[in-house]
Structure 1
C-alpha cells in the first residue's frame, strides 16, 4: 500500500508502507511541532484503533524510532521490541492486525479526523449533548406530564395507523444509520440478539409489535395493556444499561465486534467502497467520546437519538418515504406522540428530541443527520455492515424484495449522498430492488388506497411471523390485528 499526507484540500504520496497512514500536516512542513501523523488499523482483540505521533520528529518517530504508544481510546499498548520501529511492528503483525484501507474507518467517533467544536452546534443540539453522561432513565413518573396535549397526541396515533408501512420502511433505513454509531452498535453486537438474520427478525419484529401496541392502546391509562408494555420496555432499557455499564461487562462491550462472534469479513465488503464514496462528502463530525470521556451506554443522549431514528426520516422526507398525503397537522401530532412516548420511557423533557414543534424538530433532525449520521457512515466498517445485512436478510423473510445494498442506496439517495463505488458493487438484483422501491414510494404511494393496501400486507406479514414462531412472543405480548 501507499502512504499519503493531506494538507488542506491537497494530498501527496509520501512513501510506501503496508499500514496506511493519514497525516495531518502543518503548512510549515512535516518537521514542524504542529505536525501529527495518525495511523489507523484493526487489532483482533481490541478492534479499530489509532496511533498518533506528534511533534518535531513525527515522521521519523513513525518510521525509525522504537516506541510505546497508547491505542486510541483503549488502555492497551503496542510495544516495539528489539528496537524495531512502530511501523515495522504493525507491518509484521499481519496475522494479528488488519490494515485499514482508507484511514477513516475507526469505529470510535472520537477518532474522527474531522471533528467540529460543539460551539458550532445549535443551542438545542448543545442541550441534548449534555445528556451524553446522564443515565437513560431519569426516574420521571410514568404519568401524564403537564405539557401533554391529548388531542395532538392522539393525532400522532392516527398518523401511525394511516402510514404504518411508510413509518416501518423509514425505521428500517434509520437502523442502517444507527448501526454506524459505535455507542449504539457495540451493545447490539455484545448481546448477540441481532447478529444473524433469524435473530434480527425476532428482535425487530418484537420492536414493531411494541410500537403497534403503544399507538393502538392508551399508554396513559395504568390499567391499559399499552401502558404496562411501555413500562416493561423501560425496565428492559434500565436493566440493559446496568449490565453494559457494569465493571464486569464494560470492557467487553467496548471491544465487541462481529469477528469475535464468528462473522468473518468477506473479501470485498461494501464498507470499503462506502468509505471512499463518503470521505469527501462527510462534514465535520461531533466528538461523542474519547479516552477521557468514555461512553455511558443508554444515556439520555442515546435515548434522544433513538427517538430521532424512529421519526427523523419520515419527518424530514415524508414524500420520499411514501407519506405523500401527510399534513402539517399530522406531523405535529407525530412529533408530540414521540415526545409523550419518550417521557414514558424515562427521557427527561430537557433531553427529549421531540420537545419542540414539527418544524423545530425537523431542523434538529437535519443537524443530527449532518453532524452525526453522515460522518459516522463515512467511517463504515464490517461490524455495522454485517449487522445491516443481518437486519435486512431477516426482514426479507417477512417482507420479500428488501436487501441491504438496495436499502442503503435508497437511503443515500434520500440523504443526497453520492455513492458511485457502492452502486458499482451492487448486483442486478439489488439494482432492480432499488428501482422498485423508488417506483412504489415515490410514485405509486401517491395513488389513494395504495398505502392502505401495503399497511394490510405488513399487518398480515407480522401476523404470519407470530403464528409461525409462537415461542418468540409471549401470549401477553402478541398483537391481534384487525382489518382496519
Structure 2
C-alpha cells in the first residue's frame, strides 16, 4: 500500500515495483535469443554509457561487488547459486565471478551492433547460463527460478547504486551520464532476456532512480537484515574469491559498507586489519573522490591498477593460485549440490 507521505512519482514507482515482484516471479527469463534491436535503441547513447563505465572502472567494480552481496541476499537467487555449486568456496567463486566480470567488461568495450563481436558473444554465453540454471532449478524441485523478477533485481547490481548512492560513494555522474547508463542497461537487459515491462531501466531517469531507490529500501534492505541461511558462506566465498584481484577488501568490511548504503546498522569490526581496510575505503570515497582534481588523479591510478590486476589474473593467475589453491586451474564443471 502507498504510504501517506508518498508523492506521485513514488506512488508510481511502488506500483511498478509491485508489478515486477508479483507478476514477474512466475515468468522465466526469455530463453530465445533476440536477433534484432528494439526501436528505442540509440547507438550514440549506448556508446556514451560504455565510455562512462570504462572511465570509472574502479568505482564500477566496488559498486558491483556491493551489488552482488545485495542480490545474494535474495532467497530465490541464493537458492540457485547454492544449487549450481559454483560459488560455495573462494576458489569456485573466483572462477565464476571473474568470468562474470570479464563478460561485463566485454559489454562495455565492444560493438554491440556486431553480432560476431565479443560483446554479443558474452551476452549469448551469459544468457545461456541463465537458461541452464533455470532448467536445473526446475529439475531439482526449486520451482520457478531465474525469473523476470530475479533478472530485474540482478540488473540493479550493475547500475542501481550508481544512480541512488552517488553522494555516499562520491560518484562523478552527470544527468547526461545517467541517461546513458540507463539506456546501456535497458539495452543489455533486453538482450539478456528481460522483457521491457520488467526492465528496471525502462522509463525516464527520474522514474528509474525512484524505482531503484525502492528496490534498495523495500527489497534489498529487509533481505540483507535477515538473509537466507546460506548467505554468509556464499558472501564470504565471493569476497575472498575477489581478493586476488583487489586485495583491499574483506567480507566484514564489505558487509558493513553495504549495510550503510541500505541504512542498516553496522556490525562491530574486531580485527584491527579489517578496521584499517574499512577506513581506507572511507578515505577513498569520503576524501579522495570528493575533491575534483584528487578524484581525477586517484581514479585514474586505481583504474590502471585494476586493469593491470585483471590482465594479470587473466593471463598469469599466480597470486590466485597461491591464495586460493591449484584448483583454479581445474576445468571440470562442479556437479549440482542436491539437498
TM category (shorter chain) comes to 0.7 to 0.9
Runs of 5+ consecutive residues of structure 1 not aligned to the other structure: 1-118, 255-294, 475-484
Q: Which stretches of structure 1, 4 residues or longer, exceed 3 Å deviation after superposition?
A: 469-474
Report the TM-score when normalising by structure 1: 0.60
Answer yes or no: is 1:145 the counterpart of 2:44: no
| 1:386-405 alignment, distance < 5 Å | 386-405=233-252
Q: Match of 1:132?
A: 25
1:442 alignment partner in structure 2 = 286
- 1:86 — aligned with what? none
1:302 match: 150
Pair 1:240 & 2:119 matched: no
- Aligned residue pairs total 307
Unaligned runs of 5+ in 2: 1-10, 319-327, 332-339
Q: Spell out the pairing of 1:89-104 with structure 2 (5 A cutoff).
A: none
1:218 corresponds to? 111
CA distance in 2: counterparts of 1:182 and 1:382, whole angstroms: 9
User: Offset at 1:240?
Assistant: 1.8
CA contact (8 A) 2:13 2:207 kept: no
- Between Structure 1 and Structure 2, the one with more strand by share is 1
Distance 1:418 1:379 in 2: 13
Mapped to 2, the partners of 1:346 and 1:121 lie a distance apart of 22
Deviation at 1:138, TM superposition (A): 6.0
Matched, 1:383 2:227: no
CA deviations on 1:377-426 (whole Å, 9 max, x unpaired) are 1213551011111111111122112001111111222222223xx22x53
2:46 touches 2:180 (CA, 8 Å); kept in 1?
yes
Moved more, 148-157 or 375-384: 375-384
Q: Is 1:458 matched up with 2:294? A: no
In 1, Cα distance between equivalents of 2:191 and 2:12: 31
Q: 1:316 aligns with which of 157, 161, 164?
A: 164
The change in CA–CA distance for 1:322 and 1:396 in structure 2 (over 3 A counts) is farther
Match runs of 1:118-267 below 5 Å: 122-129=14-21, 130-137=23-30, 139=32, 141-246=34-139, 249-250=140-141, 254=142
Larger Rg: 1
The 1:120/1:317 distance shift into structure 2, 3 A limit, reads closer
State the partner residue of 1:3.
none
Normalising by structure 2, we get a TM-score of: 0.85
Answer whether contact 1:188 1:194 (CA < 8 A) is retained: yes
Which moves more between the two structures, 359-368 or 425-434? 425-434
Contact kept, 8 Å, 1:138 with 1:347, in 2: the verdict is no
Query: How large is the Cα RMSD of the aligned pairs?
Result: 2.1
CA contact (8 A) 1:132 1:299 kept: yes
Q: 1:335 to 1:473 in 2, by over 3 A?
A: farther
> Is 1:466–1:472's contact at 8 Å kept on the other side of the alignment?
no
Structure 1 residue 244, shift from structure 2 partner:
1.1
Report which structure shows greater RCO (CA 8 Å, sep ≥6).
Answer: 2
**SS at 1:177 equivalent:** helix
Displacement, 1:358?
2.1
